[in-house]
Amino acid sequence: MNSNFTKIIRFVLGVILIVFGANKLIMIFMESGFLPLPKLPLKAGEFMSSLDTAGYILPFVGALEVYIGGLLILKKWVPFALILLAPISVNILLFHFFLDLSGGMIGALVVATLNIILIYKHWSQFKPLFY
């Protein structure tokens, strides 16, 4: 379970989460983050605008992504981090599938695939949850 492959995947996923989570957090204090926001289709833009208007969802998700990314990079509570990440990665996939198919679907698939691979690698620690 501690192969170089797993270490690389864990590190890459952690960096992705920290970068995109930090971008969400920085957008709280500035007009825009350090990553440019893509032009979204109408329905996707309306959805993101409503999340931004709520005021707490995007900062909370950004902080959670940074936290999960840190746990993965530091190799602390990895199964816990993967369980926290599962609904986020499913939501990213569904957002791009239903609202922005042409946009970041590849990135969504990468995050979900890396999460699935790591869950599979740590499956022995998840087994007690299902029996």
Q: What is the pLDDT of residues 38-91, one digit of tens each?
A: 788 888 888 888 888 888 888 899 999 999 999 999 999 999 999 999 999 999
Which residue would you say has higher pLDDT here, 51 or 28?
51
Q: Which comes out higher in pLDDT, residue 9 or 104?
A: 9
Indicate the number of domains in the chain.
Answer: 1
**Model confidence at 33: pLDDT above 90:** no
State residue 2's pLDDT score: 64
Q: What pLDDT sits at residue 53?
A: 85
What residues contact 14, with CB distance under 8 A and at least 6 apart?
68, 69, 70, 71, 72, 73
Helix 4-29 and helix 105-121: axis angle, to 10°?
A: 130
Look at residue 64 in the predicted model and tell me its pLDDT: 96
What 8-state DSSP symbol labels residue 128?
G
Residue 15 to residues 10, 66, 72, Cα–Cα distance (Å): 9, 9, 9
Q: Say which residue, 37 or 21, is predicted with more confidence.
A: 21
Please enumerate in sequence order all residues whose Cβ is within 8 A of that of 70, keeping only pairs 6 or more positions apart, or say none: 14, 18, 76
**How many C-beta atoms surround the C-beta of residue 106 within 10 A?**
9
List the domain range (segments joined by +) for residue 91: 4-130
**Residue 35 CB-half CA count within 13 A:** 12
Q: Is the pLDDT of residue 1 over 70?
A: no
Per-residue pLDDT tens over the stretch 95-128? 999 988 777 888 899 999 999 999 999 998 888 8
Residues 6+ apart with CB under 8 A from 79: 122, 125, 126
